Amino acid sequence: MIHKNVITDFCQKEYTPVIDESAYIHPLAAVIGNAVVGKRVMVSPFASIRGDEGQPIFVGDEANVQDGVVLHALETEHNGHAIDKNLVEAQGKKYAVYVGKRVSLAHQVQIHGPAYVGDDTFVGMQSLVFRAKVGSGCVIEPGCIVMGVTVPDGRYVPAGTVLKKQDDADRLPAITDDYPMKDLNKDVVHVNTSLADGYNRMDLE
């Protein structure tokens, strides 16, 4: 399902999602309103990218939004003006949610804005990222809560961690060559970009 947002007292403009032709949106997924979906992105069944709060939700090239994932935000506009405290900045622009290139959002992940996930990061099953920034090349293992902190580049968050203090985020372990999940995201991105390509070919037949 792909359609415009509704007009509300906090978002007084209709937006149509901008989706690259090489992305694949499953018919049982929803992409709504001010959402930008990049090249070869795979959006799986029951995923929701709901850009109906005003400012954009961005999903970068070759990312994957797996089954049951939710991308949403707090109110990001008031009377036509952006609410900066509910936004993140990336590449000189402001977003409700920003998901970088080659990011994997595994099953039932919630990325709730304001939130930023850097390039080449894996967010594991049933994890929540809210009012937080996750750097590039990170791994958020399954079942984590990441709130109100910045996760430095190249770190991993052990499974089940509740991360709400910046001191704890700064002490997260670095991803090294012997970390078992070091190459997981690369493999997941390969699988999902291949799936996006394949499903798009199927639709053309």
Reduced to 3 states (helix: H, G, I; strand: E, B; else coil), residue 35 is strand
CATH code of the domain in which 156 resides = 2.160.10.10
Give the span between the Cα atoms of 179 and 98, in whole angstroms: 27
DSSP label of 118: -
- Reported as a single tens digit per residue, the pLDDT across 139-155 is 999 999 999 999 999 99
**Does 21 qualify as catalytic in the annotation?**
no
By residue count, the chain amounts to 205
The pTM of the full predicted model, rounded to 2 decimals, is 0.95
Residues with Cβ within 8 Å of 67's Cβ and at least 6 positions away in sequence, in order, are: 44, 45, 46, 47, 107, 108
Task: Please report which helix (H) or strand (E) contains residue 198, including its range.
Answer: helix 184-204
Written as six digits, the tokens of 62 are 């070759």
Catalytic residue among 53, 62, 77, 141: 53
**Does 14 qualify as catalytic in the annotation?**
no
Catalytic residue among 14, 21, 75, 89: 75
CA angle 186, 191, 193 (to 5 degrees): 90
Whether the per-residue pLDDT at 135 is higher than 80: the answer is: yes
The number of distinct structural domains making up the chain is: 1
Written as six digits, the tokens of 125 are 């099953």
Domain that holds residue 186: 2-204
pLDDT higher for 204 or 48? 48
